[in-house]
Structure 1
Amino acid sequence: MTGTDVERAVALRRMKTLATGLLGVLALVFVVAFALQDSYPWLQYVRAAAEGGMVGALADWFAVTALFKHPMGLRIPHTAIIPRKKDQIGESLGQFVEENFLSEDVVVAKLESARIAQKAGMWLEKPESADRLAVEGAVLIRGLFTVLDDDAVQGVIEGLVRRHFLEPPWGPPIGSIAERIFAEGHHHSLVDLLVDRAADWVDGNYAVVTRVVAQRSPTWVPRLVDGVVGDRVHAELSKFIRAVQDDPRHDVRVSIDKYLRDLAQDLQHRPETIARAEEIKAQLLDDPRVRDLTARTWATIKTALLEAVNDPASELTTNFKALVRDFGSRLTSDTGLSDKVNRWIADGASYFVRTYRSEIAGVISETVGRWDAEETSRKIELQVGKDLQFIRINGTVVGSLAGLLIFSIAHAVFG
């Protein structure tokens, strides 16, 4: 028994003693009045009152006792009601809770009147609340990292990478994205950059160009001619690149655009190009590389989070606190947001009650069903037994008054 149960048991014994004591007092009064009523006729009224009080006290004692046990151990029909009807009581109680407390209308009405979002916002915007959430979050993260197995987490990450990144073919999605980029001309900046770099290289590598020309010319050509040809080649090459730079509609640029658009189409629809993209993917991300990538990703995430949560002044912790306070302020000041959050809460609670109300109510009936019959009777008696003793006391008083009234009327009518 808990401390509360002990206190209730003491109070119950006290009330039982009081109710039984009243019965004993009335019994003593009845005996005295009955013995002396011939000498003192007015004692007949006292006897009648005491007699009625005893009848009421005994009747209510029987009624109260019959709820929890067999009175005086006698197996009288319709006694020990709670031990015999324990399972039915549990089912009825569960059904009562389900129908009257786990009702969608009741739950939604209560949540709407509670204004949970506004109250949560007022709590969240306090600095000490944000600090507390940050501390509790840090404890949770450290606990998770303590429990989680690194190899298992890496396996999960690797599985996700393979399922969502490696297994789907790359060609069609890359081709679709590239087609949109090329159609909108976003690649022109990259082409400009490449052409500019090519022009800079030609301008800065005159010696390289002339040397390559000399190396490729026949051996019988005089060096003077090689120099003239090399100079000419460099000049024409520079002139060509300058023309590509200056003319947005240059044939080279048009050819590049066409090539890129065709490539985007081939990546989406041409089996040979799609297969080639898959070969490149396999070469770039083979099993050892994927395994190494997932291991380094998990190690980086774990290290970064642990360092952040262990440092109260870290950027992550500071930003988290600011985000919590800002969200709290928005919940308090933004009626639209708070109404939306309250609606989400109400809808979630409504779905939960609608879906699981029978299971929740079933916990009550199942719990009562597992209790021992005598234990159930004792638990219920501890809860309501003290108040039931007032029934015995009231029955004693009402019985006394009824007995006195009946005797008085009978004596007045029949003399």
Structure 2
Amino acid sequence: MIDADTRQADLRRMQLAALAVLLLALAGLALSVAMGGQGAWAWFKAFCEAATVGGLADWFAVTALFRHPLGLPIPHTALIPQGKHRIADSLAAFVRDNFLHPEALLTKLQVFNPAKRLGEWLASPAHQAQVTGTARTVALEALSLLNEESVRRAMGEFLVQRALSWNATATAASVLDVLTDEGRHQQVLDGALEKLRDYLATPEVRGLVAARLVKFSRAQWPKVTSVVDALSSVDKMADSLSDKLALQLVEEVQEALSHPEHTVRREFDAWIRSFISRLREDEVFAGDINALKDRVVQSQDVRSYLDGLWVEVRASIEMDIRRDDSALMRHLTQALAGLARRLGQDESLTQAINDHLLSAAGSLVSRMRHGVTEHIASTVKSWDDRSLVRQIELSVGRDLQFIRLNGTLVGGAIGLLLHAVTVWLKP
């Protein structure tokens, strides 16, 4: 792009060239008059006279676009500064109607096929590296920002306030509703019963039960246990009893697992539904749960733990991102390559993305169209008159000087033609 100084120099050179040609025409006119204006000088005079008139007329026309010629407030001059508001509105309307028209934009976007172009672009490893490099830079900047004490404090306060306003009981009731509607609470019960069955079947548990039985009996009935010890071993009796108890419990649990209509299942289902109702209807119970939640959220220990956890997570993420063999960046590259393949092979995906982009673009253009138009108009109207004139003159002023040059030369040619007609018509 050519800078302002270069354009100013080009404009100045063309202005001097146009002025020089006009002065030559004036000098030629003066010379032809001084030489009597007869014979060949008459032809020269006709050329120079018409060239002077044409040059002056075009100088006036070009100058009148930007300012008052010779500083004289002649009507319909200084057209650009005088009509700045009208120009601003016209320019804004032109951009709106030709560049921001929804149908035109959407047609071009549809022909462009952005999803397919994106897939082709992402298929290049160099472009994948470009995207991951940008993502790496943005991620590091974001992590740096989030590490600022003020930002961390603000985020912490925001999360605390959100947690305090969260109705834990309503959420719990909704989650349990979903679980019970799909019967998943019975799956949870199955898992618990299986764990209990396996636990009861272990020798360690049976030994623990036997030891507890012996300890309890010796503490509660020392004389009886002494008599039993004399006849048989209390430990053996406890082992036998614990084995039978464990076996009975395992059988009971297995029966509950095998029968969908078992009493345990029905009672568990009734308890869950009762608990859901209590969460929704018992205001005291709900208040107690939410109060407990608030105490946990506001606990300094919890805040300190979460803050320390965030520091560790952030440091771990940052350390990975900074590595040349970053796992996150590697996964991102693989995801980009996979997306490129999908976009190249899956026409339905490409069409779906294009449809969403067209819908979003249409909505965006419709919302922004008026705002962009107003912004263009108000910006141009706010410009200083001199700045506006200078910018436009630097953009098109050089070409306008060619109008002055052409006007001078064409005027001279017309003068010669008119003089020839005059000579031809004379008797």
Which TM-score tier does this pair reach, normalised by the shorter chain? 0.7 to 0.9
Q: Distance in 2 between matches of 1:389 and 1:261?
A: 90
Aligned partner of 1:402 in structure 2 is 414
Aligned partner of 1:53 in structure 2 is 51
Where does 1:181-220 land on structure 2 (aligned, <5 Å)? 181=179, 183-184=183-184, 185-186=186-187, 187-200=189-202, 201-205=204-208, 207-215=210-218, 217-220=220-223
Aligned partner of 1:371 in structure 2 is 383
Which has the higher mean CA deviation after the structures are superposed, 307-316 or 161-170? 161-170
Where does 1:2-401 land on structure 2 (aligned, <5 Å)? 4-36=3-35, 40=39, 42-159=40-157, 161-163=159-161, 165=163, 167-178=165-176, 180-181=178-179, 183-184=183-184, 185-186=186-187, 187-200=189-202, 201-205=204-208, 207-215=210-218, 217-225=220-228, 227=234, 230=238, 233-248=241-256, 249=259, 251-252=263-264, 255-271=267-283, 273-275=285-287, 277-278=289-290, 281=293, 287-401=299-413
- Report Cα offsets for 1:5-42 as digits up to 9, x if no partner: 222222222222222222233333334444556652x5
**Preserved CA contact (<8 Å) 2:65 2:78:** yes
Cα deviation for residue 305 of structure 1 reads: 1.4
* Pair 1:173–1:121, CA change in 2 (3 A): same
Which has the higher mean CA deviation after the structures are superposed, 358-367 or 51-60? 358-367
Query: Percent identity of the aligned residues?
Result: 27
Which has the higher mean CA deviation after the structures are superposed, 257-266 or 75-84? 257-266
* Pair 1:276–1:362, CA change in 2 (3 A): closer
Cα deviation for residue 102 of structure 1 reads: 2.0
**Preserved CA contact (<8 Å) 2:163 2:297:** no
Q: Distance in 1 between matches of 2:32 and 2:87?
A: 45
Length-normalised TM-score, structure 1: 0.85
Q: Distance in 2 between matches of 1:213 and 1:131?
A: 72
Q: CA RMSD in A?
A: 3.2
- Report Cα offsets for 1:151-187 as digits up to 9, x if no partner: 4444455445445555434344334434554534202
- The gaps in structure 2 that reach 5 residues or longer are none
* Pair 1:279–1:221, CA change in 2 (3 A): farther
Cα deviation for residue 386 of structure 1 reads: 1.3
- The gaps in structure 1 that reach 5 residues or longer are none
* Pair 1:128–1:245, CA change in 2 (3 A): same
**Preserved CA contact (<8 Å) 1:195 1:244:** no
Which has the higher mean CA deviation after the structures are superposed, 389-398 or 287-296? 287-296
**Preserved CA contact (<8 Å) 1:69 1:79:** yes
Cα deviation for residue 280 of structure 1 reads: 5.5
**Preserved CA contact (<8 Å) 2:119 2:341:** yes
Q: Distance in 2 between matches of 1:328 and 1:166?
A: 44
Name the amino acid aligned to 2:192: L
Q: Distance in 2 between matches of 1:38 and 1:246?
A: 131
- Report Cα offsets for 1:122-178 as digits up to 9, x if no partner: 222222222222222222222233333544444455445445555434344334434
Q: Distance in 2 between matches of 1:223 and 1:106?
A: 103
* Pair 1:167–1:79, CA change in 2 (3 A): closer
**Preserved CA contact (<8 Å) 1:213 1:229:** no
**Preserved CA contact (<8 Å) 2:193 2:253:** no
> In the comparison of the two structures, how many residue pairs are matched?
413
**Preserved CA contact (<8 Å) 2:296 2:302:** no
Cα deviation for residue 306 of structure 1 reads: 0.5
